[in-house]
Amino acid sequence: MKELELKYGCNPNQKPSKIYMAEGELPVTVLNGKPGYINFMDAFNSWQLVKELKEATGMPSAASFKHVSPAGAAVGKPLSDIDRAIYFVDKDAEITPIAAAYIRARGADRLCSYGDWAALSDVCDAATASYLKNEVSDGIIAPGYTDEALAILKTKKKGNYNVIQIDPDYVPKSQERREIFGVVFEQGHNFLKIDEEMLSNIVTDSKELPQAAKIDLIVALITLKYTQSNSVCYVKDGQTIGVGAGQQSRIHCTRLAGDKANNWWMRQHPKVLGLQFVDGIRRPDRDNAIDVYTSNEYEDVLAEGVWQESFKVKPEVLTEEEKKAWIAQMSEVSCGSDAFFPFGDNVERAFKSGVKYIAEPGGSIRDDNVIAACNSHGITMCFTGIRLFHH
């Protein structure tokens, strides 16, 4: 098939819309549903991310995309009991490596992953499909599906869930083009390979960079390669925990990603784990209740006549002192930036969210200030020498 008609473009008024190949056949097959323009933008960006992450780490990888940027990405490390609790995984559910990868990717930022596009580096199995069945999602791309998984996914959205299979051996042309306002842009496709060699130039006093941190920094950098710039990414234990995308200011990226990392960590606070939700509460409502409860707007969910909608028992307030004490326990977090940090304030903000390892291109006229900020906190920083802008 050389072309595929779409429902509409970015917006319903943008018709007609299609994807097509100037030469050869499309590398994708729609197994269910009718994906749209943005669906395919998410699908192709997310597929590249998970394919490269699998190649770089050797582990099954997954991503959760929204509006052409990852809400989360992860490799398939096993889930802990706390992971199962905060990601709403049944305690008896069988979790395969690829299922764990997607559960972690979606769990990075469950609010932003609402209505996501899922991407898997490996064949989608029944364990992954069974978890995805209960989440609000627009579609999925993977190199294949087991019969059982496909049958499960076809039950989503009244049978209209978008399921795309991609040829895992497909390689795009070396030059890529896009048309904006009637003008054609052309550039070389970004075939840049991200691996441990990119982390070899350590410029700080601390030279400590354990293997786990190398994997986390690779996760961060590959995630940034497919995140709308400017972008900063925090990673822990093989999964993103905060992605700051599309900000005009670098420090705003760092703050946004750090605040998301803090939110992820707050979900593990004993008071949050002990919340008693009403029976039958929907997952999105539960996610929203947790988000508000841990924020400065907690009164919006704890007010009389309101808390009963979400909780069996009115929760105790999570105080600012408790929040600060809990966040202070964050540690061993890695941070990547798609371009250099222009000032040391980015390091100072990252440190507040437990960052101990940083990878960024370097090249700022204030590199010495940034390095000094790392040294003052015992942070290990690598200069990759490579910018990762994506638009």
CA nearest to 87, candidates 318, 273, 322: 273
- Asked if 245 contacts 231 with a C-beta cutoff of 8 angstroms, the reply is yes
Q: Which DSSP symbol is given to 160? A: T
The residue annotated as part of the active site, out of 67, 154, 252, 271, is 67
- In whole angstroms, give the CA distance from residue 185 to residue 283: 43
- In whole angstroms, give the CA distance from residue 190 to residue 44: 14
- In whole angstroms, give the CA distance from residue 164 to residue 367: 44
The residue type found at 263 is: N
The residue annotated as part of the active site, out of 39, 51, 54, 66, is 66
Is 269 tagged catalytic?
no
Q: Which DSSP symbol is given to 342? A: S
pLDDT number for residue 1: 78
Is 260 tagged catalytic?
no
Tokens 């802990």: give the residue. 80
Chain center to CA of 381: 22
pTM score of the predicted model: 0.96
Q: What is the DSSP string of 76-141?
A: -PPPPHHHHHHTT--TT----HHHHHHHHHHHTTTTTTTTEEEEESS-B-HHHHHHHHTS-EEEEE
Is 230 tagged catalytic?
yes
Is 323 tagged catalytic?
no
Start-to-end C-alpha separation, the chain: 28
Q: Which DSSP symbol is given to 308? A: G
Q: Which strand (E) or helix (H) includes residue 142?
A: strand 137-142
Q: Which residues of 47-84 are buried (b: 16+ CB within 10 A; e: fewer)?
A: bbbbbbbbebbebbbbbbbbebbbbbbbbbbebeeebb
The residue annotated as part of the active site, out of 230, 262, 263, 346, is 230
> In a structure prediction context, what are the per-residue pLDDT tens digits for the chain, which is 391 residues long?
789 999 899 999 999 999 999 899 999 999 999 999 999 999 999 999 999 999 999 999 999 999 999 999 999 999 999 999 999 998 889 899 999 999 999 999 999 999 999 999 999 999 999 999 999 999 999 999 999 999 999 999 999 999 999 999 999 999 999 999 999 999 999 999 999 999 999 999 999 999 999 999 999 999 999 999 999 999 999 999 999 999 999 999 999 999 999 999 999 999 999 999 999 999 999 999 999 999 999 999 999 999 999 999 999 999 999 999 999 999 999 999 999 999 999 999 999 999 999 999 999 999 999 999 999 999 999 999 999 999 9
- In whole angstroms, give the CA distance from residue 333 to residue 361: 18
Using DSSP bridges, classify how beta strands 18-20 and 3-5 pair: parallel, antiparallel or unpaired.
Answer: antiparallel
The residue annotated as part of the active site, out of 91, 158, 207, 391, is 391
C-alpha Rg value of the chain to the nearest Å: 21
The residue type found at 273 is: L
